[in-house]
A and B are shown apart, each in its own frame.
Chain A
Amino acid sequence: MLLKLENVTKRFGGLVAVNKLDLEVEEGEALGIVGPNGSGKTTLYNLISGVYIPDEGKIIFEGKDITNLPPHKRAPLGLARTFQIPRPFGSASVRENVAIGAMFGRAHAGVDEALEMADEYLKIVGIYELRNKEAKLLTPLEKKLMELARALAMKPKLLLLDELLAGMNPKDIDKIIDLIKRVKEEENIAVVSMVEHLMHAITKFAERVVVMHQGRKLLEGPTIEVLNHPEVIEVYLGGRVV
């Protein structure tokens, strides 16, 4: 077991964003998290990466209790994430952005080594030719690829992708899914991918999905089976959920 959430709850005032959630991620697995807007997916990511501390429950990573660990202590253990809206270090070059990932993530590389790793990962995601560009000048797609390279350069054991594929055309989506699958196999990374609407993409990628609704886990299981479940369809089409 790589990551385990036990009975995790996070409240914002009266709103319960994540409600008594249990979640398990195996080493090297591809997990999809789907759920409509406001179902608590991003809060869940923030809880795992340490941006928020849960009000109740426990988070265990590789057998270690990380519930109250600050984010900067979690990343070196092997956690990495991308953001729904990319957050590049704008005035730094693309290469420096990725190198920062390699320096402070689990890779813990020295400066020169990190810059070499940055080149390597930029080649993997296919934006090596942009390496000297200021990160803020990239297109949205390029920024997402750069964030992916930056997260991979951290050499994570668990990679959290936050709507990485949203807004991309089908051709790019296929390309990136292939890429993630390849790196995942090579480096044995567990990848959790969160999507709101791109169901066909999640079927290509995830072996297992968790459906979230109103902060709770609605269903969990093999991808196709779960996504065809009547309850899931109801959640998405706005039907009544018991």
Chain B
Amino acid sequence: MFKFKSLIIPFAIYIILIAIGLSQPGLWQPIMYIMFYIGIGVALNNFMGLTGYVDFGYVAFLAMGAYGMGVALGYFTYLGIWAIPLGFVLALIFAALLCTAVGGVALRLRGAYFAIATIGVNEGLRYLIEGAKIWGGSEGIILSGKLRKTFGPEFANYLSTFVADAALIIIIFIASVITVYMINSRVGYALLAVREDEDAAKVMGINVTKYKLIAFFTSATIGAMIGASAWTLKLTYVFPEDVFFIHYTVEAIVIVMLGGAGTLLGPVVGGLIYGALKYYLSVILPGFQLLVFAPLLLVIVVAFPEGVVGFVKKKLQERGIIEYIT
């Protein structure tokens, strides 16, 4: 059975956004700002949405990705252009290492205990890097000079604009395909059972630890790719206090819940609403945006407790036309 029909709507949203960004001068950066939020939503959803576990330390995976790329570009600059693929590989490795360390221990905890343990990991890692002066410590890794020296100013500029944005877009497309694949496979059904009743799931033959780790790993590596491209490549620096900033985790959680956890379209719509509103409010009400933003989010979350997409899906399910929405 062909199960990828549900990719049509999110792909259409991405393409329309990109088209708007390319055709309207001055709108490309705002569009990429929204794409970043869609990206972290889609990435976190692969874990939080599918398992029901709230990971408050999620940003640590983006940080691992940012450091992976930062280390490759900062310390292996002599590799020239090959430092970039190396950066993505290192991003993957760093995220996978952290994933193994955290997943093996923290995933045995449930509910609030898991959430708190993951915050601890995030903060601990940040202080480790700052305190032990790893990779520049609290001064971070600054790449703009090195990049300009190695690649020339034009190509360095091209890297941080076109390459970084293109990479983020490709990652988001791939991440959506992965989500659809997961939801419709045995993994998706196993995680559905885990989310609803972990103990009943075990008795029914589901190796809950294995499936939780699969989701954790998938989500972490996508997050690391986003960190490597949308942060290090685009901004050309890595500061620990930025990349471990818990604020991004909270934003990702809000996006997932706003759109609808565990659905494919949810984090896309959530990221779109969140990113667009945040940007627009900061333009028309600079300084007051959060004051307006917070109550607005409250209203949406109260009105649609299952997220916007969750709500629509439920309405459509009653009429039996849900093929296109997952």
Residues of A within 8 A of B (CB): 49-51, 70-76, 80-81, 83, 87-92, 96, 99-101, 103-106, 110-112, 114, 132, 150, 154
Q: Residue of B at shortest CB range from A45?
A: B203
Can you sample 6 A-B contacts with CB below 8 Å?
A49-B203, A72-B208, A90-B197, A92-B193, A103-B189, A106-B205
B186's partner among A50, A70, A71, A103 (CB-CB below 8 A) is A103
The yes or no answer to B299 lying at the interface (CB within 8 A) is no
The reply to whether A87 and B317 form a contact with Cβ atoms under 8 Å apart is no
> Which of A89, A106, A110 gathers most chain B CB within 10 Å?
A89
Set of chain A residues within 8 Å of B196, measured between Cβ atoms:
88-92
A99's partner among B189, B205, B208 (CB-CB below 8 A) is B189
What separation, in Å, do the CA atoms of A80 and B186 have in the docked complex?
A: 19
The reply to whether A111 and B184 form a contact with Cβ atoms under 8 Å apart is yes
> Which of B186, B197, B199 gathers most chain A CB within 10 Å?
B186
Contacts A111-B185, A111-B189 given; does A101 touch B204 at CB 8 Å: yes
The yes or no answer to B131 lying at the interface (CB within 8 A) is no
The reply to whether A71 and B203 form a contact with Cβ atoms under 8 Å apart is yes
The yes or no answer to B200 lying at the interface (CB within 8 A) is yes
Query: In the complex, how many angstroms separate the beta carbon of A105 from the nearest chain B beta carbon?
Result: 5
Query: In the complex, how many angstroms separate the beta carbon of B264 from the nearest chain A beta carbon?
Result: 16
The reply to whether A72 and B1 form a contact with Cβ atoms under 8 Å apart is no
Q: Residue of B at shortest CB range from A109?
A: B186
The reply to whether A100 and B197 form a contact with Cβ atoms under 8 Å apart is no
Give residues of chain B (144-201) contacting chain A, Cβ–Cβ below 8 Å. Answer: 184-186, 189-190, 192-193, 195-197, 199-201
Q: Mark B283-326, 1 if CB is under 8 A from A, else 0.
A: 00000000000000000000000000000000001001000000
Contacts A96-B192, A99-B189, A111-B185 given; does A89 touch B205 at CB 8 Å: no
What separation, in Å, do the CA atoms of A49 and B189 have in the docked complex?
A: 21
The reply to whether A132 and B199 form a contact with Cβ atoms under 8 Å apart is no
Q: Residue of B at shortest CB range from A46?
A: B203
The yes or no answer to B100 lying at the interface (CB within 8 A) is no
The reply to whether B204 and A50 form a contact with Cβ atoms under 8 Å apart is no
The yes or no answer to B206 lying at the interface (CB within 8 A) is yes
Set of chain A residues within 8 Å of B197, measured between Cβ atoms:
87-90
The yes or no answer to B202 lying at the interface (CB within 8 A) is yes
The reply to whether A76 and B205 form a contact with Cβ atoms under 8 Å apart is yes
State the 10 A-B residue pairs at the shortest beta-carbon distance, nearest first: A75-B205, A104-B205, A89-B196, A87-B200, A71-B202, A72-B207, A71-B203, A104-B206, A72-B202, A76-B205
A92's partner among B192, B205, B208 (CB-CB below 8 A) is B192
A50's partner among B195, B201, B203 (CB-CB below 8 A) is B203
> Which of A72, A112, A154 gathers most chain B CB within 10 Å?
A72
The reply to whether A154 and B204 form a contact with Cβ atoms under 8 Å apart is yes
What separation, in Å, do the CA atoms of A209 and B197 have in the docked complex?
A: 32
What separation, in Å, do the CA atoms of A154 and B201 have in the docked complex?
A: 12
Set of chain A residues within 8 Å of B205, measured between Cβ atoms:
71-72, 74-76, 104-106, 154
Contacts A72-B208, A111-B184, A111-B186 given; does A89 touch B192 at CB 8 Å: yes
Set of chain B residues within 8 Å of A100, measured between Cβ atoms:
189-190, 192-193, 201, 204, 206
Q: Residue of B at shortest CB range from A92?
A: B192
The reply to whether A132 and B203 form a contact with Cβ atoms under 8 Å apart is no
Query: In the complex, how many angstroms separate the beta carbon of B14 from the nearest chain A beta carbon?
Result: 27
Q: Residue of A at shortest CB range from B207?
A: A72
Set of chain B residues within 8 Å of A110, measured between Cβ atoms:
186
Q: A71-B203, A73-B207, A90-B197 are in contact. List 4 more A-B contacts (CB 8 A).
A: A70-B202, A81-B203, A105-B205, A111-B185
What separation, in Å, do the CA atoms of A105 and B186 have in the docked complex?
A: 12
The reply to whether B189 and A75 form a contact with Cβ atoms under 8 Å apart is no
Set of chain A residues within 8 Å of B317, measured between Cβ atoms:
132
Q: Residue of A at shortest CB range from B206?
A: A104
Set of chain B residues within 8 Å of A112, measured between Cβ atoms:
1
Contacts A50-B203, A92-B196, A132-B320 given; does A104 touch B1 at CB 8 Å: no
Set of chain B residues within 8 Å of A101, measured between Cβ atoms:
204
Query: In the complex, how many angstroms separate the beta carbon of B283 from the nearest chain A beta carbon?
Result: 38
Query: In the complex, how many angstroms separate the beta carbon of A113 from the nearest chain B beta carbon?
Result: 11
